[in-house]
Amino acid sequence: MVSIIVFLPLAGALLLLLIENHDGRRDAVVRWTALGASLAVFAATLLLWSRFDPTRADFQFVERHPWIPAFGVQYFVGVDGISLFLLVLTGFLTPLALLSSWESVRDKVKEFAAFMLALESAMLGVFVSLDLFLFYIFWDAMLVPMYFLIGIWGYDRRIYAAVKFILYTAVGSVLMLLAIIGLAWMHNSITGGGHSFDLLKLYDLHLPPQLEFWFFLAFTLAFAIKVPLFPFHTWLPDAHVEAPTAGSVILAGVLLKMGTYGLVRFAFPLFPTAAAFFAPWLAVLAIVGIIYGALVAMVQPDMKKLVAYSSVSHLGFVVLGICALNLQGLQGSVYQMLNHGVSTGGLFLIVGMLSDRRHTRQIAAFGGLKAVTPRLVAAFMLITLASIGLPGTNGFVGEFLILLGVFRWDPRMAAFAATGVILSAVYMLWMFQRVNYGPVVHEENRALPDLTRRERWVIVPVVAMAIFMGVFPGVFLKPMQPSVERFLQRMSHPSVARAVEAPSPNPADAAWRGAAASGARVKH
Amino acid sequence: MSPSSIAAIVPILCVTAAGLAAMLAEAFRAPGEKMPIGGLGLIGLVGAAVSAALLWGRHATGFGLVAADTFGLFFVMILVVIGVMTMLLSPSLVEREGLPEGEYYALTLFALAGMMLMAMATDLLVIFLALEVMSLAVYVLTALRRDAEASVEGAFKYFILGGFSSAFFLYGLAFVYGLTHTTRLDRVGAALADASAAHPTFALLALGLLLVGFGFKVSAVPFHMWTPDAYEGAPTIVAGFMSTGVKAAAFAALVRVITVAFPSLHALWYPVLWGLAAVTMILGTVVGVAQTSLKRMLAYSSIAHAGYLLVGLAASNDTGRGAILFYLLAYGVTNLAAFGLIGLLATDDRANDDLPSMAGLSNRHPALAAVFSVLLLSLGGIPPTAGFVGKWYIFSAAIRSGDYGLAIIGVLTSVVSIFFYLRVIVMMYMAEPGDAPRSPEPSPAAVFTLAAALAAIFYLGILPTRVIDLAAHSIGSLF
């Protein structure tokens, strides 16, 4: 089941390569095939969700086969409550991204669609891998299609952005590679059971403290670059701005989540002592990122760049929630990953639509769109509000839970982080106002077409999802909870120096969580 | 002369016979007559492969000087792969570059015979002999484009420096003999284990001189100076052959010498190899960044790859030696295919082997551009390709012996190398098409070779188990 989901897009990509498409004569066939394949994947992820047992904390749908016995490598995949929704999110965003590029990508359509699908396979693979070797293969393999997507179909400085993207990420990941190999050898020398990349076995490994610290840093560097955590974020604005719309959507929607997912799945539980030691430092970096990202976003003249920096800020929240190491913080983080995928993905889609119309993304080139394209502006507004975290939208639930968790850990941090919420309202609303309100100052803008039918198909699901996730967070939070609790149990290993606040069985926690969820409902 | 002694050298005899046949064929060829001389080479190589397969696991020794152990036979197999790919790619390239056919095939086959002998030799003198057989043939191959200045210059540099390195090797051999009164590797090893404490200076001198000789052949920094010029000057397919075959053979002998003759001097050679590996990786990649000629770029990349292989050797454990075998196979297939592909891009009047002429290749030759991208990504070690598994294996060995320093240098330099491999991809896919003309369609044999190389790269990258097991098994015979 899981394998089928992971390799279905790749099969679609290979199928596309078989289609003869000289001079773009069969572009339509190619587009529909790719869309069909990605929709099939989405359907499959939904099917997975429906069969998922929300009461269990273990990995489900596990497949385990020996792969390279000489290295102790297995093909080992499975899904738990944390990865389940990231799969669904990937399945949800890819067809939308393909649909959004329907008209803006005219050159080498077949290759574009094939790279998108190959990228989807690699992303899904990252989320289900439970063997570190397998994980690393998907993690690195993902760089290649993204590199081509930015480099071939991007904007003017695309080559610079593409190379910067791949080099930055590669530097981080190769050090993680060494840490992975080191872990496998340590498994051999500590347990004598040969070297193993099996995540579940490595969870139980007790490393010498010094090694654990170094390994943690190597893993965290890789993930921090991907997130991106301040000060490793400089590749992101370039990559986002230069990438084609579909690339930006995937980049913001899914790729960045791999960093935070990696922290939750690998870096923290594999090295709990080191994680507990470094968590406050990471949290400080996250807070700096939240505020810095927001301030820089505020002064951007380019909408895409603004959204890119807002991602730095929002992802800071996610990292902060993870560092809090309690139920609310972590659940909020995982939820916020999904939210950010939906709302920032949506923002990039909107910016893409505006830039398709005017071939510019400068805020100053717009103004007064409300009268010209009311439907587009309505969608824009809903997604903007979701991104700010207005109660009733998805962003509220995630940020609220994170701040709650952080407050219980360290109120000072929560106080600083909360300014990020305010700042995000400032820069988002200010941009929204400059683009959509006031008089129409540019004559070209008077005749802009409103949403086309295709664009409605792209944006309505995003808006609907943002509201649905804001109103019914329990649908998502409940299946997550057992896995999150399991994570906290792993983290509260006896050797952990800092006492982690009563993790799961505390009834007060459940009450808090319920209050948060119902709070969202009431305020709506 | 017992029959088993002859049996051990049958693979070498097959290739030598094919080389002789190629010479004869050339001698009896009417001027202008087309003759499939490469076919003779293929027959010889298939013979070598079959005999190597039959000898597998029998531990035949020839005359006490040559061992058909699994280690040697694995290298014979690698060399057969390199040879077959060269033979299949050659016809169209030889014609396009106007090389003399008979000489080309005969010399290539003699060089292969020398390489195989080098991989199987267990006596320092025989190693030297094989080294010379191989080197002389390759010097001439480098100079085969007699009318091209670069070819002559590269060959001359290669020859002069190669001559020096042979002298160093011989000098080191003399010291070894002086110390131990034998040139057989196993006896040298036994003697040094007893006596090394008595003459550490001479032992160090002997080892150092031998390492200089090997360093030249594997193009390790600081003995790499000839490499870029020789590769650039040599006919493209010869450069590919040199960069893979010579390196494989030299590493085969180096691994054997280090592990069989000098294990007792680990404390002496470990820091030397460590330093060589580090400098070689760093310089190969850093200077590689500055190249605009693809052949020079691949030359520096092959220097860097020698550095990775040295990491495997410095790790001095089974994993490292197994990794060298796997890596050389992966690297051999990839690099030779890359050179062959550059050769195929040449047109009658221009070589098209610099970065600017790659611009827009994805429009002119989409298939070739795609294949080249995969080859470059494999050289850069991106999964799921053979290059990735090779690097994984090498660094795994380094980490196993606690060598985090070398491993970190290794992975960081491989990121730098990704940068220059990507530059080619940038030109092919993202730059505005330049004025480079369309190259002639590649011959079916060349297409087949590239397709097979591609299949091998993904096979080794996704399902490497069988080859890894084979490599690990081959290492067992070394002691």
Please report the pLDDT score of residue B82 as a whole number. Answer: 95
Percent of chain B clearing pLDDT 90 (strictly above): 55
Q: pLDDT band at residue A88, thresholds of 50, 70 and 90?
A: very high
Q: Are A304 and A264 in contact (CB under 8 A)?
A: no
Q: pLDDT band at residue A493, thresholds of 50, 70 and 90?
A: low
Structure tokens given for B199? 């003459």
Between CA B134 and CA B126 the distance in angstroms is: 12
Please report the pLDDT score of residue B479 as a whole number. Answer: 61
Q: Are A133 and A73 in contact (CB under 8 A)?
A: yes
Between CA B322 and CA B469 the distance in angstroms is: 9
Distance from B171 to chain A by nearest Cα, in Å? 40
Neighbours of A18 (CB within 10 A): 8
Structure tokens given for B25? 């064929």
How do residues B315-373 score in pLDDT, each as one tens digit?
888 889 999 999 999 999 999 999 999 998 888 777 778 888 888 888 888 889 999 99
Q: Which domain holds residue B301?
A: 3-478
Distance from B400 to chain A by nearest Cα, in Å? 6
Q: Do B429 and A151 touch (CB under 8 A)?
A: yes
- B 55-84 → A contacts, CB under 8 A: none
- Tell me which residue of B252, B262, B260 sits closest to B206, measured CA to CA: B262
Q: Are B468 and B393 in contact (CB under 8 A)?
A: yes
Of the candidates B393, B399, B411, the beta carbon closest to that of A185 is on: B399
Is it the case that residue A499 has pLDDT exceeding 80? no
Of the candidates B399, B411, B469, the beta carbon closest to that of A174 is on: B411
Question: Is residue A177 one of the residues assigned to a domain?
Answer: no
Please report the pLDDT score of residue B436 as a whole number. Answer: 76
Q: Does B167 touch chain A (CB under 8 A)?
A: no
DSSP E strands in B414-453: the ranges are: none
Look at the alpha carbons of B45, B46, B47, B52 in this order and tell me if their dihedral is positive or negative.
positive
Q: Are A472 and A396 in contact (CB under 8 A)?
A: no
Which residues, at least 6 apart from A73, have a Cβ–Cβ distance to it below 8 Å?
A67, A131, A133, A134, A197
Percent of chain B clearing pLDDT 70 (strictly above): 99
Domain count, chain A: 1
- Which residue type sits at A40? A
Q: Report the length, in residues, of chain B.
A: 479
Q: Do A137 and B383 touch (CB under 8 A)?
A: yes
Q: Are B436 and B360 in contact (CB under 8 A)?
A: yes
Q: What angle do CA A336, A338, A341 make, to 5 degrees?
A: 105
Question: Is residue A468 one of the residues assigned to a domain?
Answer: yes
Provide DSSP, B455-467: HHHHHHHH--HHH
Q: Which helix (H) or strand (E) holds A351?
A: helix A327-358
Q: Does A181 touch chain B (CB under 8 A)?
A: yes
Question: Is residue A460 one of the residues assigned to a domain?
Answer: yes
Neighbours of A414 (CB within 10 A): 20
Domain count, chain B: 1
Structure tokens given for B112? 């292969």
Q: pLDDT band at residue A276, thresholds of 50, 70 and 90?
A: confident
Worst-scoring range by mean pLDDT, A307-321, B176-190, B195-209?
A: B195-209
Size of interface A-B (CB pairs under 8 A): 80
Distance from A343 to chain B by nearest Cα, in Å? 31
The mean pLDDT of chain A is: 85
Please report the pLDDT score of residue A261 as a whole number. Answer: 92
A393, β-bridge pairs: A391
Which residues, at least 6 apart from A507, have a Cβ–Cβ distance to it below 8 Å?
none
Neighbours of B393 (CB within 10 A): 27
Q: Does A1 touch chain B (CB under 8 A)?
A: no
Q: Does B388 touch chain A (CB under 8 A)?
A: yes
Question: Is residue A469 one of the residues assigned to a domain?
Answer: yes
Tell the residue number behind the tokens 């951007």, with chain if given: A300
Long-range contacts of B51-57, Cβ-Cβ distance < 8 Å, separation of 24 or more: B51/B10, B51/B11, B51/B14, B52/B11, B52/B76, B52/B77, B52/B80, B55/B7, B55/B8, B55/B10, B55/B11
Distance from B399 to chain A by nearest Cα, in Å? 6
Between CA A141 and CA A258 the distance in angstroms is: 13
How do residues A128-181 score in pLDDT, each as one tens digit?
999 999 999 999 888 889 988 888 888 888 888 888 888 888 888 888 999 998
Please report the pLDDT score of residue A506 as a whole number. Answer: 44
Please report the pLDDT score of residue A103 as a whole number. Answer: 78
How do residues B408-466 score in pLDDT, each as one tens digit?
999 999 989 988 898 898 888 888 887 777 888 888 899 999 999 999 999 999 999 99
Between CA A473 and CA A478 the distance in angstroms is: 8
Please report the pLDDT score of residue A504 as a whole number. Answer: 41
Residues A115-154 as b/e (b if ≥16 CB within 10 A, e otherwise) read: bbbbbbbbbbbbbbbbbbbbbbbbbbbbbbbbbbbbbbbb
Please report the pLDDT score of residue B195 as a whole number. Answer: 65
Please report the pLDDT score of residue B91 as a whole number. Answer: 87
A362, β-bridge pairs: A302
Say if residue A201 is exposed, middle or buried (CB neighbours under 10 Å; 0-12, 13-18, 19+).
middle
DSSP summary character for residue A279: H
Q: Does B412 touch chain A (CB under 8 A)?
A: yes
Between CA B159 and CA A344 the distance in angstroms is: 62
B68, β-bridge pairs: B60
Torsion of CA B260, B264, B265, B269, to 10 degrees: 50
Helix (H, G, I), strand (E, B) or coil at B448: helix
Is it the case that residue A519 has pLDDT exceeding 80? no
Q: What is the pLDDT averaged over residues A124-129?
A: 93
Distance from A160 to chain B by nearest Cα, in Å? 10
- Which residues on chain A are in Cβ contact (under 8 Å) with B472? 70
Q: What is the pLDDT averaged over residues B249-268?
A: 90
Please report the pLDDT score of residue B349 as a whole number. Answer: 75
Between CA B53 and CA A502 the distance in angstroms is: 64
Between CA A298 and CA B329 the distance in angstroms is: 54
Please report the pLDDT score of residue B1 as a whole number. Answer: 55
Q: Do A141 and B399 touch (CB under 8 A)?
A: no
Between CA A428 and CA A145 the distance in angstroms is: 31
Between CA B353 and CA B436 the distance in angstroms is: 10
Is it the case that residue A508 has pLDDT exceeding 70? no
- Tell me which residue of B308, B276, B293 sits closest to B356, measured CA to CA: B293
Q: Do B426 and A167 touch (CB under 8 A)?
A: no
Q: pLDDT band at residue A524, thresholds of 50, 70 and 90?
A: very low
Q: What is the pLDDT averaged over residues B183-196?
A: 84
Q: Are B467 and B323 in contact (CB under 8 A)?
A: no
- B 423-462 → A contacts, CB under 8 A: 425-426, 429-431
Distance from A181 to chain B by nearest Cα, in Å? 6
Question: Is residue A206 one of the residues assigned to a domain?
Answer: no
DSSP summary character for residue B61: E
Q: Which domain holds residue A399?
A: 271-524
Helix (H, G, I), strand (E, B) or coil at B67: strand
Look at the alpha carbons of A274, A276, A278, A282 in this order and tell me if their dihedral is positive or negative.
positive
Between CA B84 and CA B46 the distance in angstroms is: 8
Look at the alpha carbons of A486, A487, A493, A499 in this order and tell me if their dihedral is positive or negative.
negative
| Best residue in A6, A181, A215 for a mutation probing chain B (most B CBs within 10 Å) | A181
Of the candidates A166, A174, A185, the beta carbon closest to that of B422 is on: A166
A74, β-bridge pairs: A66
- Which residues on chain B are in Cβ contact (under 8 Å) with A68? 464-465, 468
Q: Does A151 touch chain B (CB under 8 A)?
A: yes
Between CA B4 and CA B10 the distance in angstroms is: 10
Distance from A221 to chain B by nearest Cα, in Å? 14
Q: What is the pLDDT averaged over residues A389-417?
A: 88
Is it the case that residue A516 has pLDDT exceeding 70? no
Q: Are B139 and B275 in contact (CB under 8 A)?
A: no
Distance from B422 to chain A by nearest Cα, in Å? 8
- Which residues on chain A are in Cβ contact (under 8 Å) with B383? 136-137, 140-141
Of the candidates A68, A141, A152, the beta carbon closest to that of B429 is on: A152
The mean pLDDT of chain B is: 89
Tell the residue number behind the tokens 């329990």, with chain if given: A474
Please report the pLDDT score of residue B197 as a whole number. Answer: 57
How do residues B89-135 score in pLDDT, each as one tens digit?
998 888 888 888 888 999 999 999 999 999 999 999 999 999 999 99
Q: Does A18 touch chain B (CB under 8 A)?
A: no
Between CA A371 and CA B239 the distance in angstroms is: 67
Helix (H, G, I), strand (E, B) or coil at A507: helix
Between CA B466 and CA B452 the distance in angstroms is: 18
How do residues A106-122 score in pLDDT, each as one tens digit?
778 888 888 999 999 99
| Best residue in B412, B415, B417, B425 for a mutation probing chain A (most A CBs within 10 Å) | B415
